[in-house]
Structures are given as C-alpha cells and as structure tokens.
Structure 1
Amino acid sequence: MATLVLTAVGTIFGGPMGAAIGAMIGQQIDQNVLFKPKNRQGPRLGDLAVQTSSYGSPIPVLFGTMRVAGTVIWATDLREERTRSGGGKGRPKATNYSYSASFAVALSARAIIGVRRIWADGKLLRGAGGDFKTATGFRVHAGGEGQAADPLIAAAEGIGGTPAYRGMAYAVFEDFQLADYGNRIPSLTFEVEADPAPVPISTIADVLSDGAVGGTLSRRLGGYAASGDSVRGAIETLARAAPLSLSDAGDRLELVAEDAPVLTIAASELGAAAGGAGAAARDERSTSTLVAPGEIALSYYEPARDYQAGLHRARRPGNGRRVERIELPAALDAGEAKAMAEANLARGLTGRVQRTARLSWRHLGIAPSQIVAIDGVPGLWRVAEAEVERMAVALTLVRHRGGSITLMPPAEPGRPAPQPDLIHGPTVIQAFELPELGEALASAPRIMTAAAGSSAGWRGAALAVSHDAGFSWEDRGSTAAPATMGAAVTALAPGDTLCFDDIGAVEIALLNSGMQLADADDARLTAGANLALLGNELIQFGSAEPIGVGRYRLRRLLRGRRGTEFAVADHSPGERFILIEPQTLAMIDIPASMIGGEMLTMASGVGDDVAVQRAVPIIGSSVRPPSPVALDAIPDSDGGYRLTWIRRSRLGWRWVDSIDAPLGEEKELYRITVLRGGAVVRVTESEVSEFDYPAAAIAADSAGESAVTILVAQVGAFAPSCPAAIVIPTD
C-alpha cells in the first residue's frame, strides 16, 4: 500500500516528521489512485447463495461459521444404472433408470476445520449428526498446505493432471444418487466451520491483507465470507458496517473502534497558520439533514434461521429520505444487526457537523481516524483529514457520536422455517406373498416388499433379490415409499370372518413416532380402506384409538380378508403389522417354478452399516384360488355321505352382479384328500363342487377308526388353494 511505502521512505529521509508527512501523502494516493472506488468491490450476499461452476468464479475466504454455496470444480458424466421390473398380465415389463454423479465443490480459499450440515435444493441433505438423507460417498479436504490430491479425481484424470488444491478447502461427493433431485446435480449449500468460535474483526482484516491491516479490536463476528474483486472492498465493507475507522500505525493500518482513546487539544494550541503566522483558531459548519441518510438497511445472515438472509432497518424522524444499503456477508444475530444499523444511522447524522482546527507542526502525529476533544468545545471529534502546510497542521474534524456499539433491546429475527433434521436410521423390511389385491388376475407369482425405518427420517433403500439362497443377487431398483408398519403388542383372538368383529381388539406399536393410523367408517371399509397384514391374516379396522406415542388399539375389525381366514386363529405378540397401501409396496414378479421354494430380499439404505435381508417362502398365495367354503357332509341312505361346497374365485372379490363368481382358473377342478389319524389314505378329484363318499369307501379308509378328516382344495392354474376341512364319523 502507498501509505506503508511512503511512511517507510519518509522515516528514512526525514525522521519522525518525515514519516508523518509520508503517511499523509500515502493516504491520498491510497484513496485517489490505488484504492480509487470502482463500481463494485466488496462482497455481496448473493455471492454466497447460488452454486456456480463458471471459470473464474470467486471462491470466498471464510472465517468463523458460515453457509456458502461453493463452486463446482470437477465432475464426472452422469452414470446410468438400469433395473427391470413388472411383467405379467396387465403389468408390462418396465426398465427403470437411476443416475448418479461424482463431483467436487470448492468451499473456501482458506483452510477450514470441517463441514457441518449440507442442503440440496434447500432441503437438508446432511444433518447435524453427519447422517446423509440421500446415498452418497463424501469426504472433505480442509485446505492444509500438506493436502494430497483426491484419489477419485486422480483416478479419473491421472495423478499428473490432478491438483491438490492446497490452501483451498473443497468437498468431494462420490456416486451421489440423483433420483431425489430430478436426475441432476442439485444446488448445494454448506455450513462450513472455519473457526469454531466468533472471530475478531481485526483478525479477519489481518488475514485478508497479509498483515497490512489489523488492530486489537475485541469486536467479533460469528462468521464472515470475504469475496469480491479486492481486499480493500472486503475490509471496507467490514469497517463501514461495524462501524470502524482506519488509522495509520506507521507500518500498517489499524482498525479503530468508536470508543478509541481520546486525545485532548488545549485551546491555547489552536490558531497556527502556514509559516507560523496566526490564524482563525477554528470554524464550524453543518450540512443539511437531507444529506444524512434517513434510513440504514443492513442485510446479513442469521444463524438462527439456518443462515437465511436477514434485513434490519434503522430510521430516524425528520425529512431525510435517502436510504443507505449495507450488504454484510456475516453471520449475526438480530440484536447485533439492529445495533449496527442504529450505529451507522447515528454516525451519518452526527457526521454532518464539521470543524477545522489549525495546530502547530508539533501535532504532525495526529492522523486520520483519531478521536480528539477540544477544550471549550462540546463533544468529541474524529479526524477526517490532516493537511501539512509550511510547518502547520490543518485538521478537518467530523463530530463523533462516541461510545461503543451497545446491543439494542432484543430484536425479532422472524419465524424460522428450518428443514427437519431427522436421522435416516436403519432399514426395516418385510417381504410377503398376498392374494391379488386388485381386480385383475396375476399371471405369475408376486412377492411384495414393504420397508421403513425406526427413525422418521428414513426415506428409502436399494433393493435386491436372490433366487439361489444368496449366491447371486439381482438389483430391483429401490424400495417404495416408507410403509406404515410395526408389531403387535397383544395377540388378536380368533373372530368371525363373516361379519364385523366388535369383540376382538389388538394393540399395535408402530416403528416410529412419525407414523399414524386413522379411523375409517363402514363405507370406506367396504371400499377397501385400512387394510393391514397382521401376521399372515389380512384385516381391516374401523377404529384406531391412540394409546401412546406410536401406539394404537385397533377395533371394529373385518377378519380373514381376501381368503386369509386360515390365519385367524394363529396370532401372537410381536408379529408383524403392515398397513397395505399400493404406493408403499414394491412388487416383484417371480417364475412360477419357484413355488414351493424361498426367495431372499435385501435392502441397503444410507443408515445401514450392513444390508438387511429377509427370507420369504413362496407358496403361491398370490396366484392360488381361495379355499372352498360351506363344506358340508350330508348322510345318504346307504351309510355314505355326499360332500358339497361352494367355490370362490380370485377374480371378482366384490361380487358386483350378485350371481356366481367367475371361475378365474383354466378349468374347474377340486382335489379331495382323506386323512386317517393324520395320514393320507385317499386322494381323488372332482370337476364339480360335490363328491359322493360311499359307505364301502368310508369303511376301507377308516380301518376301524371312529372318524376321518376330509380336505377339499380347488386346483388352480399355478397352485391349489388352502383346503377346507370337515370331520365325518365312521361308526
């Protein structure tokens, strides 16, 4: 800086007096040549809000803790992955595409301590606990001088073409999953910690100017982001907002606070003139209040509102209408911002009054920004200019408000709207085979998966299946939306499947407090509302009574829905509970040859240290007809029985025409099995819904036992139904 250079030159050639004169000349060069104002020099709030990737974009120098957007400095092309799903009757096969990208974002042109939270398109991507809401690899290079090149960038670009970016902090995302952001790299902002405690303003100035500007000020900022096209602009923005002044300390400039030490000038020392002659001691003048700003508008960042831009206005009564705007890229609370705005307003008003004082050459040491008091003159004065002419010093003084900035009464920052910081947590997955829930026939067996998390922040997981006991895995995209699921606290007693069960009740504990259950009236139940899988039974519930956080008591039940009456009497505490909603179920079609086997499902989310597996037996529930009903044994005259039953269909559950249910299978066929003491003694088939069991056959099958059990199952295109059973006496 010219001031520092000419101060040093003046000292060499003229001693202390030469140093003072040199400093004054240097200040004029600084103000009018080197640091002549441009259209834009200092940092602005908008510089930190939008992520850029343009060549030459400024990278801020960060202090304290700030939220910044950063600059993309490297990126790969999008990586595409394909998975296939669907198929079968009414469900065409679909190819699903997912995309990921790897990229690096520059954060600060100065070393940092670390990164806290991260937002993507304004939504929380990384929480305060370090957990990510979307799957990605992540690491931070803090910007130290020993920083090594990032291994991912080096692998892609070659070690010889990969800079280490020493002295610059940056973050690297590896295989960032883009599905949540429209398959594009989202706009990211980072909460960066460059100094865990508030930073003195003088320290900020010292670092930015490489020691040319400093001081011992105690005033601190929670965070500051220096950018723009000059160091002077960044420091001037700080000094203007604080407000502070710059003073020449000989070898550097120092920031001077409003409450700097006061130099008192005796009345007898006034009146010197050029050449040593007498002159008027002083004169005072005041400009119109119209010159002073009538309003100060200070914009800044508020940590209490996740570093959203804040604005505080300070207004004065009177006829001043000029609005002065100050953009300070600093982290302030509302009270600090209000105090700064009020201080700037007061400084502008008192600064209208100016005075000239002429002193002898003995006062060459008085420099601009120094605070003085004059005997006999009320108030304090700040030296705006000091001019030396023929052994006399002429001071231009501006009235000074005095005192330090005091915090104003608490200011209201506005209602914060923070993004919920919910931990993703581990994945809980359930896999099961259910009867077809729609009105169309399934043409192949189908497994359903429902997944959620023990934390309300769980969003999804990658899904894979294995048909060979885990030797190989097939990617199936991702899980569906989080399901409402949990476990039974009590065991549901057996109940009637033909009408409402108003006696039975079951208590349910849901996985997390963000899940809820609701009542449904009879009309909604008839339409299919509140369908749930409890153990292996499909139920519907009309009443969901809250009995604690995440706990409900379910009443007014419809039991054994969609042919699951076989599980009505098979309940126990701890069994699974899943609310059946199409949008929360991932459908997996499997070959019919797997009926009788087992499939493994595997889910892996961002909160899972180890992938979660679940085995599901494939018994054909999704493609087999429901069991026959109304099985009856009618005695005939010769001691035999005629067995009759009513078939049901997996097509047309709602029975809209009140006639016969459609067959829903390739042909009508039933398998009749006779058991004696649990052992199979006869198997036969019938193409109609009845079977004659003559006395001779009964005698042969019973072998002297008092009764036999007869099972009747409908034979479907893929698998037989669950059997209906009846015991008939043989004696």
Structure 2
Amino acid sequence: MATLVLTTVGGIFGGPIGAMLGGLVGQSVDRELLFKPKGREGPRLTELALQTSSYGTPIPQLFGTMRVAGSVIWATDLVEHRQREGGKGRPTVTSYSYTASFAVALSARPILSVGRIWADGKLLRGAAGDWKARTGFRLHLGGEDQAVDPLIASAEGIALAPAHRGIAYAVFEDLELADYGNRIPSLTFEVTADTGPVSAGAVIEQVSRGAVLAGEGGPAIGGFSAYGGSVRAVVEPLAQACGAWPVIADGRLAMAAGDGASIPVRDRGADARGQERRSIATPDRAPRTVTLSHYDPARDYQAGVQRASWGGGQDRELRIELPAALSASHAKQLAHAALSRADADRTLRTVATGWEGLAIVPGARVAIDGESGRWRVVETRIEAGGVQLQLAPLAPAALAAPAVPGRVIGAPDVAQGRTIVHAFELPPLTDGALSAPRVLVAASGDAPGWRKAVLATSSDGGARWEPAGATAQPAVIGAVVTPAGAASAAIADRRSRLVVALAHEEMALGDADPEALASGTNLALVGDELIQFAQAEPLGGGQWALTGLWRGRRGTEDAIGTGRSGDRFVLIEAGAIMALDGLAGIGATLTVMATGVGDPEAVETQASVTGRSVTPPAPVALHAVPMPDGGRRLRWTRRSRIGWRWSDGSDAPLGESVERYQIRIRRAGLPDQLVSADLPELILPSEGVGTGALTIEVRQAGDLGLSPAAILVLDNEPE
C-alpha cells in the first residue's frame, strides 16, 4: 500500500496545519525554511510592546498597520544643557536639561509611514503629525537604496555608518528628555507597512519567501507583526487562528481557506462488513475553550483577549497569541471559528474511489455525492483495486459575534497649537519691594495641547539673545472684543460690560464673591489696566462677558478708558506668570522670544520698561487750598508700592528709604519750575501763583525712580 500524506511532520504548523505538512511525494520544498527544528517560539504580545536595545533581538516584519516598540540600534550619550538664572542682586541658580539622539529599528521590510508615536505611554506625536515635545525626526522607509542618515554619518564617520538598507528605522535628533525623567523614554510607533488590510495568505507567502503561496488568501487582518526565530514560529499562530491549511496547487504548496470550490467524489462502498468507515474522538480530546489574544486598534493597539467556549465543565483550553491588529468582534469570530474547527477535527471518515482519486491531493476540498457538508482531504491511500481518501469535515463559517473590547483610557491627542506670548511690566503684585525692574511673561497656545515654550530675551533689539528658560504653566489669554469704557477706580463699576475672546474654547473663567475679590482673585491685565471681575458669563465660541468690575487696580487707574478692541487679556495667576528680573533698565525695551513645539518659527513680543514695578504709584487726591494772601496750599496723599491691603487702619508703609516729592510747575511761555518737598504738601506763594493757567505735576521720588505724576490744573484768571 502506498500513501500520499501531509502528516508525517505532525504539528509543525499546529492542529490541522501540522497534520498536513509532512512528506510531499514529488515535491521540492525548502526543508530548512519550513521544517527547521523547533527553536525560539513565536512572540508573546508583551514582547512586541517593549522597546529593546539588545544584540540579537529579532526585528519584526510588519504588515498592514501595527503598533510596535522597535529596537534602539544607535544612540549618542545624553547631552547636558546648562542654564543660569539670577544675578543683579539675586542668587544665581543653575538648572540642567538633557537631550538625546538615537535611532530605532521598526521593521525588517519596507514601510509606508509612521503615524502616532507614544513615549512612556504618552503621545509624543499626534495623529495629525504634530509633536508634543521638541525633537528632530527623520524616517527611513527601509528601501534597498536608502542613504545613510546624516546624523549617524556625522557621529560615526561616513565610512563606518551603515545605511540599514532593508530595515525601516526612525532617527530622533536632540529629543528633549525633561518630560521623561531625563532618560530615553520607551517608544512605541503606529507603523503602516501596507495600504489597507492584508490577507493571512499574503503574510505567509512573504514570510516563507515564496515557499508557500498565498493561495486563497484567507481572512483579512488589519496588521501583523512577523516576529520570531523561524518561519514556523510566525506562521503557526496565524494559520491556526485564521483556519488556513496547506494544499498542493500546480505542483507547489499553497494555503487554502474560506469557501472555495469543492471537488465532487463518489463513495464506492463501505468496508467488508458493509459499514461506513468513520471515527469520532471523545470530546475530551478537543479543546472546549479557545482564548485568542490580539492587538485592538480601537484601544490604541493595546492587547485584547476574546474567548469562545462550549461550556460543559471541560477545562481543556487552546490558547492562541496572535500578534495581529484585530477588532474585538473579529477576534471573537476567529475564536469561535477555531473552536468549531477543533470540534470538527474529532471526526474522520474514509471513502473509496476509483483511480480518479489520485488526482485529488491532500488539502483539497471535496463534497460526497448524495450527502450534505464538505470535507478536507487529510491523506490519500493507494490500495488494491482503488484509492481511499481520509477526510475531515469542514466546520461551517463562524457568524459575527458581538464582543466587548473593554474600556481603555487612551493618551489624549490634542494639538499643541501656536504660541501666544505677552510680556509686560506691572506694579508689584505682592507686598515685597523689588530691587530691579521686573518684566512678567504669560504664554499659552491657540490649541488645548500647548504646554510650554522656550524663552530668550534681548535688550538690544535682537542683536544678542540670552536664554531665559521656559514659560510657566499655560495662562488664560485672549483679546478684548468689547472694551469696558470709562469708570472710576474708587467704586465698583457695575455698569460696564467687558467682552473677551479666549485663545481656545477649553479656556474658562469663573465668578468671584467680594471676599475672593478682596484677596486678589480674578485679576486680569486688560490692555494696560489691571481689572478684577466678579461675574464671568460664557457667550459661546470662546467669548466671555465680564461684569462687576473693579477698575484701575494696583495703581493702573491712568489706563481706565483707554482700552480698545483687540487689546490683550491675561488672567494673572501665580502659577501662570514667569518673572524676569533685572534684564533691562528703566526706559529700555525688552524683547522676549518664545518657541513652542507647534511653532513654525519663533514668536516675539516687547515690553517697555517704565519702572512701574519698582517705583511708587502716583500720588492721589492732589488739590489746592486758597490762602488769605492769594497763595495756594497744595496737598496730596502718597501711596506705596508695598502694603496694598489696608488691613490695620494706619497709613500704608512708605516703601522707600526716605519720603521725598518732586513738583513740576508748568506755565505757558515760561520755563518749567522744579521744587522738592519732604512732606505731602507745598505752599505756592501769591507771586508764584500769578495769573493764567498753572499745571502742577507731583511725583513721589522712590529709591529707584520717580512715580507717575498726579496732575492738577489751576486756572488763575484775574478778577
């Protein structure tokens, strides 16, 4: 008796696949490729999610779209960046930051593109291609003609730098590491190697280098990572999960699957006793549960598990770890199909044919005349008088089954947006006295994902720049739509309605009660005026109406009524404001340059240093009291740059080393007259009053400069 079988290797591909890949009569098959002795097994799903940098680590061949970690194949040492802040009366603080450059191998076959990139589980690059941290990036697609990366060539030398042809890899140049504990983070990449889904057969054909043809293709999968020490390690779980099996087609080995055509056969008879030759193994010989692990694109390619079970108390289980991108419902359907095939494989039937049966090769599908169902040829036996075919039934196709993928909290993918930065000088916001002018910087972005920008400053119009660190937390920033108009700084402004448009719709403002307002809540810079607001009403589209206003706060009453549409709006909050001290003197202009991750080019703004951060506010209540001799007694009330809260009923602290005032008297047609005083009053004698209009300007002389002026106009026309 001669036998034509595909069973002698037994289990090379697992299940019915292993039961059919034995000796092939008349076939020339690369035994080293297909039947290599068992060595390294296929990958566990956890292996594909961990970045490696070890020698000898296999690089996967990617198909479709997958998320993979890759292997670090080249890296430089971390580069240390030092930055000193302080000086000019402040202690000097040196801070350190680090960057790294490295290359990560992604696929051992060419790819088309890379989408999202995760670093330590957080998005480093979003779906729109926007970066969440500063880095240079180049992608090499793995072509056989790809050039050497210029960074690697410059570091290693052009003669020693490999091009890594045939391997797709990514190069990061000076990736900022502050967000990752100053180390190279664990990276995973969303890689697209082929357009659209790929068939299981096509994957098997390419992995086997053409030794096994795609044949009927089999089911489509979203992506696959061919990762393992042998072809068997790659093909076995794929064929097992997809229900594919080998068959001889045109003298070559090919994969069969699905609902292809069947060859009709006629059973010529039973055995000598007239009985049909059929055997059915006991249920405990087949698994009662199939567990299929996979990657779920709906869960950012995190591992998912789907199960199919017959129940009945049996604990025999088949586990399949499939490094493929599958939806939960598709994985559930494959698990049910694998369970049905395992149960169907318990049945074997033998039919007798004439010599025409020699044309029916192992793996072929057949249908028995006069009977329902379809069968797969397991082996062909040649006996005296004819041919006998041993058959296994084909399980019906599994129906789509609802599946729950499980809940996952994906890394937020929000656009960084472009930087909006404002620099300004304000009166002191705390009770301490400054020793040098202070410029404040507030920055944010026009999209919710903005986090920070790198700053540099120049006091000479951009001829020379000095690094100034990074911005503070994102500030609530916008622009004035409808200005508040004129009002008094002495009482609450209950009539004005200030409308502002914030930089993006996720920014928000809130209300504040009188106690909160008294403690400094809801303080905002509007144009050049500091305003507090009690009520914030959302109008939609990022616009807010602010009412219950306290105007001209901290000595900015001179800016009341000067606002225009388009003026800046900056909510003053401690964590969102960065202070730059002593970088420019009074009368200078400080240019601030900010560069964020989403900025195509740097953004610049300027702050005029008037000294309002280090000089007293203007005196108030300037008035003239007539004297009997025709003179005038000028009186005013000083204010202080410290002690803004009037909490004890006494005068505000002086805030300067001495109390001194400069009084300028202006009269049309005559030179200005300058006098000084050590008290908040001055007597103008009658001859000094004269006739005609006088303009009186009173400034307090602080330790670092003069305050703004309190102005009084006296009209002294003769009677």
SS at match of 1:186: coil
SS at match of 1:517: coil
Q: Which residue type is aligned with residue 709 of structure 1? A: T
Q: CA deviation at 1:535?
A: 0.6
Residues 587-628 of structure 1 deviation map (CA, whole Å, 9 limit, x = unaligned): 111256x21111111111222222111121111111111111
The correspondence for 2:363, drawn from 341, 366, 369, is 369
Q: Which residue type is aligned with residue 139 of structure 2? A: V
Q: How does 1:330-479 map to 2 (within 5 A)?
A: 330-357=324-351, 363-375=357-369, 379-386=373-380, 395-402=389-396, 404-406=397-399, 408-415=400-407, 417-479=409-471
Structure 2 CA distance for aligned equivalents of residues 21 and 342 of structure 1 = 27
Q: CA deviation at 1:316?
A: 1.7
SS at match of 2:679: coil
Partners of 2:617 and 2:640 within 8 A in 1: yes
Structure 2 CA distance for aligned equivalents of residues 654 and 472 of structure 1 = 41
Residues 632-672 of structure 1 deviation map (CA, whole Å, 9 limit, x = unaligned): 21111111111122211112112333212211112111111
Q: CA deviation at 1:248?
A: 3.2
Q: CA deviation at 1:391?
A: 8.6
| Match in the other structure for 1:327 | 321
Q: Which residue type is aligned with residue 339 of structure 2? A: L
Matched, 1:729 2:708: no
| Match in the other structure for 2:146 | 147
Matched, 1:670 2:661: yes
Distance of aligned partners of 1:27 and 1:315 in 2 relative to their CA distance in 1, 3 Å threshold = farther
Unmatched tracts of structure 2, length 5 or more: 9-20
Q: CA deviation at 1:454?
A: 1.6
Matched, 1:713 2:709: no
Q: CA deviation at 1:188?
A: 1.2
Bigger drift between 302-311 and 372-381 goes to 372-381
Q: How does 1:5-404 map to 2 (within 5 A)?
A: 23=24, 34-35=35-36, 37=38, 41-86=41-86, 92-214=91-213, 215-217=215-217, 219-249=219-249, 251-268=251-268, 282-357=276-351, 363-375=357-369, 379-386=373-380, 395-402=389-396, 404=397
Q: Which residue type is aligned with residue 41 of structure 2? A: Q
Q: Which residue type is aligned with residue 294 of structure 1? A: R
Partners of 1:247 and 1:369 within 8 A in 2: yes
Q: CA deviation at 1:137?
A: 0.9
Partners of 1:44 and 1:228 within 8 A in 2: no
SS at match of 2:482: coil
The correspondence for 2:619, drawn from 605, 619, 628, is 628
Task: Report the aligned-residue RMSD.
Answer: 2.9
| Match in the other structure for 1:544 | 536
| Match in the other structure for 1:497 | 489
Residues 322-354 of structure 1 deviation map (CA, whole Å, 9 limit, x = unaligned): 222211111122222121111011111222222
Bigger drift between 182-191 and 247-256 goes to 247-256
Q: Which residue type is aligned with residue 522 of structure 2? A: N
Residues 138-192 of structure 1 deviation map (CA, whole Å, 9 limit, x = unaligned): 1110000101110100000111111100000001111111122222211111111
Bigger drift between 573-582 and 413-422 goes to 413-422
SS at match of 2:606: strand
Structure 2 CA distance for aligned equivalents of residues 511 and 287 of structure 1 = 71
| Match in the other structure for 1:274 | none
The correspondence for 1:523, drawn from 515, 538, 550, is 515
The correspondence for 1:534, drawn from 526, 530, 535, is 526
Bigger drift between 163-172 and 671-680 goes to 671-680
Q: CA deviation at 1:86?
A: 3.9
Structure 2 CA distance for aligned equivalents of residues 678 and 313 of structure 1 = 99
| Match in the other structure for 1:15 | none
Q: Which residue type is aligned with residue 493 of structure 1? A: G
Q: CA deviation at 1:269?
A: 6.0
Structure 2 CA distance for aligned equivalents of residues 106 and 279 of structure 1 = 65
Q: Which has the higher helix share?
A: 1
Structure 1 CA distance for aligned equivalents of residues 5 and 696 of structure 2 = 108
SS at match of 1:573: coil
Matched, 1:687 2:678: yes
| Match in the other structure for 2:554 | 562
Q: Which residue type is aligned with residue 429 of structure 1? A: V
Q: Which residue type is aligned with residue 134 of structure 1? A: A
Unmatched tracts of structure 1, length 5 or more: 8-19, 272-277
Q: Which residue type is aligned with residue 620 of structure 2? A: V
Q: CA deviation at 1:128?
A: 2.1
Partners of 2:5 and 2:362 within 8 A in 1: no
Partners of 1:4 and 1:250 within 8 A in 2: no
Q: Which residue type is aligned with residue 180 of structure 2? A: Y
Distance of aligned partners of 1:393 and 1:725 in 2 relative to their CA distance in 1, 3 Å threshold = same
SS at match of 2:341: helix
Partners of 1:127 and 1:421 within 8 A in 2: yes
Structure 2 CA distance for aligned equivalents of residues 603 and 137 of structure 1 = 18
SS at match of 2:151: helix
Q: How does 1:530-609 map to 2 (within 5 A)?
A: 530-591=522-583, 594-609=585-600
SS at match of 1:570: coil
